[in-house]
A and B are shown apart, each in its own frame.
Chain A
Amino acid sequence: MGVDAKFSLVSEGSLLIEIGDKIDYEISKKISALSLAFKKLDIIDITVSYSSLLIDFDPLKHNFNKFLSEVKAIYDFTMLNFSPSDKELNIREIFVKFGGQYGPDLKYVADFHNISEEEVIEEFTSKIYMVFMLGFTPGFAYMGILSDRIATPRLSTPRLVVEAGSVGIAGNQTGIYPSRSPGGWRIIGRTEQVIFSPEREDPFFLKPSDYVRFIRVDC
């Protein structure tokens, strides 16, 4: 098949499928397609990340070799029918107040790259970003890929408290903190958009493979 996947049991009830080890649009789309396809199987849960998937299954319900061949068959079929073109681009708009009390690290990001805060905001809002995966905490979306002009390493010591809605940068990723939590990303702004609300019929505002456009609003 197109990519060489590695299948390994990482616990008696978890199968890890790796199809790469980098942040890449095409790999991520394949992961999405696979995660949808694997739902056909009798499994407990599925976790997706940048370039791998983890299938949790009941080891007493499945004969492992049979299960693995089912997984591989679905994998092959999905990859055979995979096309990297976007069928429908789901673009979410997120309104952000940048800098000041909302984005305490905006100045650091600007200084780090020897550009102005204005230029950071312009660069950041000039692109749309893909949601590669959700993790760390419920609804936290790992998005990218940020241009090298504004990519900035994490804080060396994470903050104990980051406000809900904070928009952060870590390397060439960006993310939004769904709830008040500790965090080490460089916070450049904040949105009032509720990212995760368990009471809502659709609790997660962002999902893997969604796209996001950040729009600046005045503080």
Chain B
Amino acid sequence: MKLPGVGEFSWRDVATEARLLLIGIPVFLWTMIPIYHMFLFAISPKEDAFSGKLWPDHPTLHNFEIVFKQQHYFLRDFYAQFWNSLVIAAAVGVLTLVIATAAAFSISRLRVPGGRVVMNLALFTYFIPAAFLAVPMYRTMGNYGLLNNHWALILAMVTIASPYAIWVLKQASDKLPVELDEAAVMDGATTPQIFRLVYLPLMMPSLVAIGTYAVLLAWNEYLYAFLLLSNDRDITLPVALGNFLAADDSPWELLMTTGFIYALPPAAIYYAFRRYMVGGLTAGAVKS
């Protein structure tokens, strides 16, 4: 294919560009409108938000001030809830990484007996629709006495994140040459040494992708959080946002402002680690 040179003008290129724009503009609008609408509410005083204007007459950061100063009944526990979301997401990220890395190393590098069976069990879990597992999981957490405890949500999210994590990490492990391990054994390395000194450094990019995946999964989770936690000070931000809805006169501009604040970290994390995520995650999602 020939690239059009500078200054070269052809009607064919213009027509192609126009056709692409005809797709590109609707795609842009489709993607951005709900996000823009959320942002619009966040910077609008209440009157403007409800007037359906595309840009407020008096844009303001007042809503953010109300949220950050917890000046509304619904926002009393904003910082506690933000902190809960943060701690739970971090714990899920760390635990998933530890459990999945150990399992992937064991299955792929140590060829542990029965490893393949465990891999298939993990895959099976990966395919259980999340909302279907939620019903018995809720009752199980009750039986374990973990309801309304952060551990319930952490363990539930680790259960959901691990299978995919093991799957992706095992795929990546299989690509590392066996000779590395053999050479290390020749040099007298023990298994923990191989794990720490050979395996972990080589797996870093995949570990970053999986850690990010688990953190985002836990941070964004609504259903399990809403089932497993209930006290105002124990819930995570998405559950608090869901509770706004229960009121008849929900302060929508504050709901959208809080939602906007809550949506920023995942978007930022995603863009920071995009390089790792796209390669690592799409490769694991569907092997063609």
A and B held together in a complex: no
Which chain A residues have a beta carbon within 8 Å of chain B's beta carbons?
Answer: none
Which chain B residues have a beta carbon within 8 Å of chain A's beta carbons?
Answer: none
